[in-house]
Amino acid sequence: MKKIAVYPGSFDPITNGHIDIAERASRVFDQIIVAVAKNPRKKPLFTIEERVQMIKEALSHNKKIIVESFDGLLVNFLEERGVDVVIRGLRAVSDFDYEFQMDSLNRKLSPKIETFFMMTSESYFYISSQIIKEIASFGGSVKGLVPDNVLKMLDKKFKSLKDKKY
Protein backbone atom coordinates (compact mmCIF):
# COMPACT_ATOMS: atom_id res chain seq x y z
CA MET A 1 0.00 0.00 0.00
CA LYS A 2 1.31 3.43 -0.96
CA LYS A 3 2.04 5.80 1.89
CA ILE A 4 0.71 9.22 0.92
CA ALA A 5 1.13 12.48 2.82
CA VAL A 6 -0.34 15.94 2.35
CA TYR A 7 1.81 19.05 2.56
CA PRO A 8 -0.71 21.90 3.02
CA GLY A 9 -0.17 25.65 2.92
CA SER A 10 -1.15 28.86 1.24
CA PHE A 11 2.20 28.99 -0.63
CA ASP A 12 1.76 32.66 -1.57
CA PRO A 13 4.29 32.27 -3.11
CA ILE A 14 6.10 28.98 -2.75
CA THR A 15 9.69 29.49 -1.56
CA ASN A 16 12.82 27.40 -1.80
CA GLY A 17 12.17 26.47 1.84
CA HIS A 18 8.82 24.94 0.84
CA ILE A 19 10.47 23.19 -2.10
CA ASP A 20 13.10 21.76 0.26
CA ILE A 21 10.44 20.28 2.55
CA ALA A 22 8.43 18.81 -0.36
CA GLU A 23 11.51 17.25 -1.94
CA ARG A 24 12.79 15.75 1.31
CA ALA A 25 9.32 14.46 2.21
CA SER A 26 9.13 12.72 -1.18
CA ARG A 27 12.11 10.61 -0.10
CA VAL A 28 10.13 9.41 2.94
CA PHE A 29 6.67 8.93 1.41
CA ASP A 30 5.52 7.25 -1.81
CA GLN A 31 3.50 10.27 -2.84
CA ILE A 32 3.16 13.87 -1.64
CA ILE A 33 0.11 15.99 -2.32
CA VAL A 34 1.02 19.65 -2.08
CA ALA A 35 -2.36 21.08 -1.06
CA VAL A 36 -2.76 24.78 -1.79
CA ALA A 37 -5.27 26.29 0.63
CA LYS A 38 -7.87 28.87 -0.22
CA ASN A 39 -7.86 30.89 2.99
CA PRO A 40 -10.68 33.47 3.12
CA ARG A 41 -8.94 35.30 6.00
CA LYS A 42 -5.88 36.07 3.88
CA LYS A 43 -5.62 38.45 0.94
CA PRO A 44 -3.23 36.57 -1.35
CA LEU A 45 -0.94 38.23 -3.86
CA PHE A 46 -1.44 35.35 -6.30
CA THR A 47 -4.69 33.63 -7.26
CA ILE A 48 -5.14 30.00 -6.30
CA GLU A 49 -4.68 29.07 -9.96
CA GLU A 50 -1.40 31.01 -10.18
CA ARG A 51 -0.09 29.40 -7.00
CA VAL A 52 -0.97 25.89 -8.18
CA GLN A 53 0.67 26.52 -11.55
CA MET A 54 3.86 27.95 -10.00
CA ILE A 55 4.18 24.92 -7.71
CA LYS A 56 3.52 22.45 -10.53
CA GLU A 57 6.24 24.10 -12.62
CA ALA A 58 8.73 24.27 -9.74
CA LEU A 59 8.24 20.61 -8.81
CA SER A 60 7.52 19.12 -12.25
CA HIS A 61 10.75 17.08 -12.17
CA ASN A 62 9.54 15.08 -9.16
CA LYS A 63 6.91 12.54 -10.24
CA LYS A 64 6.12 11.64 -6.61
CA ILE A 65 4.63 15.10 -6.00
CA ILE A 66 1.22 16.24 -7.19
CA VAL A 67 -0.40 19.62 -6.61
CA GLU A 68 -4.05 20.32 -5.80
CA SER A 69 -6.02 23.14 -4.24
CA PHE A 70 -8.59 22.86 -1.49
CA ASP A 71 -11.16 24.94 0.29
CA GLY A 72 -12.38 24.30 3.82
CA LEU A 73 -11.02 22.11 6.57
CA LEU A 74 -7.80 20.23 6.00
CA VAL A 75 -9.22 17.16 7.76
CA ASN A 76 -12.01 16.99 5.16
CA PHE A 77 -9.48 17.18 2.33
CA LEU A 78 -7.48 14.37 3.95
CA GLU A 79 -10.57 12.18 4.44
CA GLU A 80 -11.67 12.67 0.81
CA ARG A 81 -8.29 11.36 -0.34
CA GLY A 82 -7.90 8.64 2.27
CA VAL A 83 -4.75 10.26 3.65
CA ASP A 84 -3.89 10.40 7.35
CA VAL A 85 -0.46 12.10 7.38
CA VAL A 86 0.16 15.85 7.27
CA ILE A 87 3.62 17.26 6.61
CA ARG A 88 4.55 20.53 8.26
CA GLY A 89 7.80 22.41 7.98
CA LEU A 90 9.29 24.09 11.03
CA ARG A 91 11.69 27.03 10.94
CA ALA A 92 11.74 28.11 14.57
CA VAL A 93 10.23 27.48 17.99
CA SER A 94 7.45 29.96 17.16
CA ASP A 95 6.42 27.74 14.22
CA PHE A 96 6.26 24.75 16.53
CA ASP A 97 3.89 26.50 18.94
CA TYR A 98 1.41 27.19 16.12
CA GLU A 99 1.87 23.81 14.42
CA PHE A 100 1.49 21.92 17.71
CA GLN A 101 -1.86 23.66 18.24
CA MET A 102 -2.96 22.84 14.68
CA ASP A 103 -1.90 19.20 15.10
CA SER A 104 -3.92 18.93 18.30
CA LEU A 105 -7.00 20.45 16.65
CA ASN A 106 -6.70 18.22 13.58
CA ARG A 107 -6.45 15.11 15.75
CA LYS A 108 -9.45 16.28 17.78
CA LEU A 109 -11.43 16.51 14.53
CA SER A 110 -10.00 13.27 13.12
CA PRO A 111 -8.05 11.11 15.61
CA LYS A 112 -6.32 9.04 12.92
CA ILE A 113 -4.40 12.05 11.55
CA GLU A 114 -0.69 12.21 12.30
CA THR A 115 1.54 15.21 11.70
CA PHE A 116 5.05 14.66 10.36
CA PHE A 117 7.20 17.64 11.37
CA MET A 118 10.28 18.41 9.30
CA MET A 119 12.88 21.00 10.15
CA THR A 120 13.60 23.36 7.30
CA SER A 121 17.16 23.10 6.03
CA GLU A 122 19.54 25.57 7.63
CA SER A 123 19.94 27.55 4.42
CA TYR A 124 16.19 28.32 4.28
CA PHE A 125 15.07 28.78 7.90
CA TYR A 126 14.85 32.59 7.58
CA ILE A 127 12.64 32.55 4.47
CA SER A 128 8.88 33.07 4.57
CA SER A 129 6.38 33.91 1.85
CA GLN A 130 5.55 37.13 3.68
CA ILE A 131 9.16 38.28 3.72
CA ILE A 132 9.57 37.34 0.05
CA LYS A 133 6.56 39.48 -0.90
CA GLU A 134 7.79 42.40 1.17
CA ILE A 135 11.28 42.38 -0.33
CA ALA A 136 9.93 41.98 -3.88
CA SER A 137 7.36 44.77 -3.37
CA PHE A 138 10.21 47.21 -2.67
CA GLY A 139 12.18 46.04 -5.69
CA GLY A 140 14.65 43.94 -3.74
CA SER A 141 16.10 40.76 -5.18
CA VAL A 142 14.73 37.44 -3.98
CA LYS A 143 16.83 35.44 -6.44
CA GLY A 144 17.90 32.19 -4.83
CA LEU A 145 15.06 32.35 -2.29
CA VAL A 146 12.29 31.25 -4.67
CA PRO A 147 12.28 29.07 -7.80
CA ASP A 148 13.07 30.94 -11.02
CA ASN A 149 9.49 30.65 -12.33
CA VAL A 150 8.23 32.27 -9.11
CA LEU A 151 10.81 35.03 -9.43
CA LYS A 152 9.39 35.86 -12.87
CA MET A 153 5.83 35.86 -11.54
CA LEU A 154 6.80 38.16 -8.65
CA ASP A 155 8.46 40.59 -11.07
CA LYS A 156 5.39 40.52 -13.31
CA LYS A 157 2.94 40.90 -10.42
CA PHE A 158 4.70 43.85 -8.80
CA LYS A 159 5.26 45.57 -12.14
CA SER A 160 1.53 45.28 -12.90
CA LEU A 161 0.66 46.63 -9.44
CA LYS A 162 2.99 49.62 -9.93
CA ASP A 163 1.50 50.30 -13.35
CA LYS A 164 -2.02 50.59 -11.91
CA LYS A 165 -3.26 54.10 -11.30
CA TYR A 166 -5.21 54.70 -8.10
Cβ-Cβ contacts under 8 Å for 119 (sequence gap 6 or more): 89, 90
Active site residue 61: no
Please give the distance of CA 77 from its chain centroid, rounded to a whole number: 15
Please give the distance of CA 54 from its chain centroid, rounded to a whole number: 11
Active site residue 18: yes
Active site residue 24: no
Active site residue 42: yes
Cβ-Cβ contacts under 8 Å for 142 (sequence gap 6 or more): 132, 135, 136, 151, 154
Of the residues 64, 91, 107, 157, which is catalytic? Answer: 91
Of the residues 18, 51, 88, 133, which is catalytic? Answer: 18
Of the residues 26, 51, 88, 129, which is catalytic? Answer: 129
Catalytic residues: 18, 42, 91, 129
